[in-house]
Structure 1
Amino acid sequence: MVSTSIRRAAAKKLRANTTPHERTLWRALKEFPVTGSHFRRQAPIGPYIVDFFCPARHLVIELDGGHHNEDEAIKRDQRRQLWLENEGYRVIRFWIRRSMEI
């Protein structure tokens, strides 16, 4: 397993290099007006780093681009989602098309 400090550094790097879709969703989530809905972005959970995470609701939101449609990526995503769900998290996954305008 990768150490906590390495996962935190990786999450920080991911936050610095967000996609336009992630930035758009982040703007909406950080101002979400529901009590107990504080979200974190690129947050480490166990051995993974998730795109968006609401600790109070045990909710994970993932934005998946084209590379998630490859066989190996699909298998990794399935293992990751199963692990998160077994730990009590609900995972919502959105597919983003490359040509999509925001």
Structure 2
Amino acid sequence: MKKIRLKPFIGATPWLKSSFGLIYHSGIGVKQDPEKAFRWFKKAAEQGNTKAQYNLGLMYRSGLGVEQDMVKAVMWFKKAAEQELVQAKNILNILS
């Protein structure tokens, strides 16, 4: 498998960073790596990317790529829900 060099993309847009998270999460074209997926989602989520915030919440909820932490999961779901992401609102309703 060809190695993808992502260092040039450190200053990338939040959307692109979230996309890298999805790539590493699913293993599309790269070795699946939950820890790298988490790091990319976190970078994008901190810059306000709604789907990255939601995915970060899922990772904290499941403990995939990061230590499980329901408080942080809910915090990220709330951030995504505040930006009107329906999936985040739904999961908050389920968790409450």
- For the criterion TM > 0.5, the same-fold answer is no
Between Structure 1 and Structure 2, which shows a larger proportion of helix residues? 2
